[in-house]
Each structure stands twice: as structure tokens, then as C-alpha cells.
Amino acid sequence: MNDNCVIRVNGLKKIFTGREKGKTKSVEAVSGISFNVNNGEIFGLLGPNGAGKTTTMRILCTLISPTSGSVSVLGYDLLKHQNEIRKNIGYVSQKGGLELRSTGKENLILQARLYGMSSLDAERRADELIDKLDLKSFAFRKAKTFSGGQKRLFDLATGIIHKPKILFLDEPTTGLDPQSRSHVWNEVKKLYDDGTTIILTTHYLEEADVLCNRVAIINLGKIVELDNPALLKRRIIAGDIIVLNFGSGDSLEFAKKILAAESYVKEIQSADTMLQVYVDEGDRSLPVVMGLMNKNNLHVQTVSLSRPTLDDVFLKLTGRKLIEPEQLSEKD
Ligand SMILES: Nc1ncnc2c1ncn2[C@@H]1O[C@H](COP(=O)(O)OP(=O)(O)O)[C@@H](O)[C@H]1O
Ligand SMILES: [Mg+2]
């Protein structure tokens, strides 16, 4: 057993039961997952909409109860010591929770008071966070006037008002423009540098790749893989990807046949006018591949060599892309 664990999840299951058109209907949102989170790490839950990420987080935050399985947070049993757990964690939900008619600072003070701080301490803590997260230019405006990015930064500030040891962030940057996203991630990174354990969900795999020490890939309520992003890419994709674009689909099958006979080619996938060729060492294979194409009069319009991304890992594991671009603007 690893003593460094702050969260232990064992065989966690959640079945929602409701009634629809007079019939009982149940949905298994989480299907018996197990994982541990280490002290001081950023742990990412990645998966498409409906995978069970939010449900898992809400259980870990004591907001809903599990159907079965066991969870301990900071050594406290989830079912027996909810108050102790709540004192030590912060949760920023997918939708956020600002009081829109109050100013940013008033929101912080309200939250601090809810955690039992005196009004003087609450005021001090609010000022400290406004300074720390660089919120001054809009802290005194009503929250309803905030941009999406400004709201998210204040959501983050309310989540850490009581200096939690563990912070849960559900989709902290979904729907934000790239600049606001990077601002939010910078603040998350600072909290991590200060020693806070962070569990987050995100649709942005590039960011998860850079930020997370470990990621769990969730699909249909189950953990499909769990590892450090770099190790995961190496293990699942094992190599680099050469993308050959022929400009038309005509010669695709012929090119595929030629490449499939090469010993350094591990796998080939075709899409439209392109072949994705998985190879051990891209730098060395690329000139050989191009030589073969020339020799066989196969005209390659464009070629690129890429290191695998978490998107590639996800596609390989589940046969689907994590998220279609139009889903990003969807509010759920
Ligand atoms: N309160 C609820 N009642 C019934 N079904 C729910 C409820 N919350 C979530 N679900 C269902 O559980 C599944 C997982 O949802 P969720 O945890 O929100 O996924 P994610 O956050 O990964 O998008 C979905 O099928 C969703 O419709
Ligand atoms: Mg969700």
C-alpha cells in the first residue's frame, strides 16, 4: 500500500434510479472503478460526455452517495466522516456557483463566512486571493457582468477560500477562449506548486498532457487506462506517427499494402486521403517510407511526423475521439 495516497477508491459504483413514463429506469453512471490519488499530484479524469466523471467527483466530494464500493479521503471514510472530508476539500462544479447579483469580492467573503471565518478574517482572505489570482480589475463588479474566464477565476478562488488540501475542478476551462484557459491553468499550476492535490476533469487533452501527473481515461463508467501521460502514450501508441496525405483515395490501398510488409511499421490506419503509419522511430523510418513511395510512383502530397498525443491514445483505446469540436461550446 502506498502511504502517500490521499484518496482511495475501491470498486465504486453509482446507479441512478428514476421513474420515466411510469416505469423505473436506472442508469449505471459509474461501473465499479478503483484508483488512488497521491498527495500533491494533479490527477486528471478524462472521458467523453456521459462517461461518469462528474458523478465520480460528486461522490468523492460527499455530495451524492455511492451505490456500492468504498472511498476514503485523507484517511476518512466517505460514509462515516463527511464533515471532516468537507473541511479539507474544495469543489468547483462544472456550472460554477457564483451569486451573480453580488460582486466578486462579496462572493468570496460570503464563501469564507460559510466556512466559519470571522468577518475580519473573511475580508482578509478575500483580499489575499484577489491579489494572488490577480482579480483586482474586476473584483468590485457584480458577477453577472463577468466574462466566462473571469467567472471561472472567481469560481476557483471560492473553491480555495478555506485553503483545502484537495481541490476538485470539474471542467474548469470548458467553453473558455484560449487566453482565459491558459490564465486558469496558470492559477491551477500555482496551487499545485503550493502543494495542493488537484483532481480535475477536462476535455482539453493537450492541457491534461502538460498539467497532469497521472490521468485516468474513463469510458462508459469504467477506467480504461490509468498512467502518467507520457508513459501512457509510449505504452499504448508505442512509437511515432507518420501521416501521408495522397490528395486522393485512389492509391491508398496499394500504399497500405506496401507499407504493411515493412518490419518497422506497427500499424496502419486509413482515413479519407490519408494513411496514419505507426512506426517505432519516426526520424529513421520517414526517409525509408518516402523512398518506398517514390519507388512505387505513389505521389505523396503532404507528409508529417508527429509524436502521439493523448487524443491518439484515446482513439486507440476506445475507437472514438474524445470530443467532437462542436461539443466544446455545448453547455451541460
Ligand atoms: N442525477 C442523475 N440522474 C440520472 N442520471 C444521471 C444523473 N447524473 C448523471 N446521470 C447519468 O450518468 C451518466 C454519467 O454522467 P456524468 O457523471 O455527468 O458524466 P460526465 O461528467 O463524464 O459527462 C450519464 O449517462 C448521465 O446522464
Ligand atoms: Mg461532467
pLDDT digits (tens, 9 = 90+) for 143-171: 999 999 999 999 999 999 999 999 999 99
Gyration radius (Cα) of the chain, Å: 24
Q: What is the pLDDT of residues 2-54, one digit of tens each?
A: 579 999 999 999 999 988 888 989 999 999 999 999 999 999 999 888 999 99
CATH of 239-307, one of 3.40.50.720, 3.30.70.920, 3.40.50.300, 3.40.50.2300: 3.30.70.920
Q: How many percent of the chain have pLDDT more than 70?
A: 96
Question: Which ligand has its closest atom nearest to the C-alpha of 95?
Answer: 2
Q: What is the pTM of this model?
A: 0.83
List of residues 6+ apart from 40 with CB closer than 8 A: 192, 195, 196, 197
CA atoms within 13 A on the CB side of 282: 17
Relative orientation angle of helices 119-132 and 104-114, to the nearest 10 degrees: 130
Strand runs (DSSP E) across 228-264, as ranges?
A: 240-245
Model confidence pLDDT, tens digit, residues 69-92: 999 999 999 999 999 999 999 999
Residue identifier of the C-alpha nearest atom 7 of ligand 1 = 16
Domain boundaries, the chain: 5-98+146-233, 239-307
314 CA to centre of ligand 1 in angstroms? 20
Tell me the C-alpha distance between 116 and 104, whole Å. 19
Q: Across residues 199-218, what is the average pLDDT?
A: 91
Instruction: Give residue ranges with CB within 6 A of ligand 1.
Output: 16, 18, 27, 29, 47, 49-55
| Ligand 1 atom showing the smallest separation from residue 170 Cα | 21
Distance of CA 189 from the midpoint of ligand 1 (Å): 28
Q: Could you tell me the distance, in angstroms and rounded to a whole number, from the CA of residue 48 to the centre of ligand 2?
A: 9
Query: What are φ and ψ of residue 54, in 5° steps?
Result: -65, -40
Give the integer Cα–Cα distance in Å for 83 and 99.
24
- SS3 for 137? coil
Tell me the average pLDDT of the chain: 91
For a mutational test of ligand 1's pocket, the pick from 12, 14, 16, i.e. the residue with the most ligand atoms closer than 8 A to its C-beta, is 16
Q: Whose CA is nearest to atom 25 of ligand 1?
A: 50
DSSP 328: G
N-term to C-term CA, the chain: 38
pLDDT in tens, 278-308: 998 888 999 999 999 999 999 999 999 988 8
Look up the CATH number of domain 5-98+146-233. Answer: 3.40.50.300
Neighbours of 19 (CB within 10 A): 8
